[in-house]
Amino acid sequence: MLVHTEDKAVRLHLACGNIFLSDWINIDYESTMPGVVKCDLTKGIPFKDESVDEILASHFLEHLKLRHEAIPFLQECYRVLKRGGIMSFITPNFEVIYKTYDPRGMSSLAAATFGDGRTGWDYHTSGWWPERFKQLAEKGHIYTPGAPGGAYRVWNEGVEVIHMFTLWRPHSPYEVTAIFRKPGGTEATYPTWMKRTEIVGDGFLTPLRWRYKYSIKPIVVGIINRFPIIANPLRSIYHHIQK
């Protein structure tokens, strides 16, 4: 059991991988980063009840089996979080992945959904999308046809939704971000990780702007460099898009 007695906020960066946040407790099972606490989070979160101020878990839930790993993990997050505390989850947005990759064929859809197995963690075993997070927040349940009565109970009460958005980070498209506040508490609390460049990079982008900046713009620049005569018309199109 990890116990903090210092008189300052306790923030947990769970399944941190190789992203280390100073002033946070960074926890991961396989990371080799100095200062990371090694812990198998499928076995629980080693903190006392209501002892943590903020939790961030980015791209972890989708690697957990829904009933036997993801739900217990969410329950642990709720257990250790103080009243009024913030818990944030970032996952691939299965809804967008399906709409994007289904027209490309079954192989592309399967790879995008379940992973290619290029590394030990390149696989997904549960799906997350805005409506699932919304239902979890409102009722404390996860609805799925295979559950008794059509839903698994995660928490005994709903939570407050601080933010729910489908913007993409520069290094990670097709995302959904869900930020919850546990009921109770006497002060307004907000997610502090959103100011950390280690997590958000240059900031969140709309899908359209992301596709332009990271997919279309490199192609346009290449064409301009190869065919300078069409540079001015392409620049005009670029400035129009920017507006």
Strands 160-165 and 175-181: antiparallel
Q: Please, are residues 70 and 78 in contact by the beta-carbon 8 Å criterion?
A: no
Q: Could you tell me the pTM of the whole model?
A: 0.86
Higher confidence at residue 61 or residue 238? 61
The answer, yes or no, to whether residue 5 has pLDDT greater than 50, is no
pLDDT at 232 exceeding the cut of 80 = no
Instruction: Give how far the C-alpha of residue 195 lies from the chain's centroid of Cα atoms, to the nearest Å.
Output: 15
Average pLDDT, the chain: 88
The DSSP letter of residue 56 is E
pLDDT band at 210 (very low <50, low <70, confident <90, very high): confident
Same domain, 218 and 151: no
Mean pLDDT throughout 197-205?
Answer: 92
Helices vs. strands in the chain: H and E counts, helices first: 8, 9
**Residue 218: predicted pLDDT:** 56
Burial class (CB within 10 angstroms; exposed 0-12, middle 13-18, buried 19+) of 109:
middle
Same domain, 96 and 24: yes
Q: Among residues of the chain, what percentage have pLDDT more than 70?
A: 86
CA-CA distances (angstroms) from residue 104 to 96, 115, 214? 13, 16, 20
Domain that includes residue 225, residue range? 206-243
Flag whether 196 is in a domain. yes
Domain presence at residue 130: yes
pLDDT above 90 (res 154): yes
The tens digit of pLDDT for each residue in 156-199 reads 999 999 999 999 998 888 999 999 999 998 777 899 999 999 99
Does residue 96 sit in the same domain as residue 72? yes
pLDDT level of residue 121 (50, 70, 90 thresholds): confident
Instruction: Report the CATH number at residue 106.
Output: 3.40.50.150
* 142-152 b/e (C-beta count within 10 Å ≥ 16 → b): beeeeeeeeeb
Same domain, 19 and 103: yes
Residue 202, helix vs strand vs coil: coil
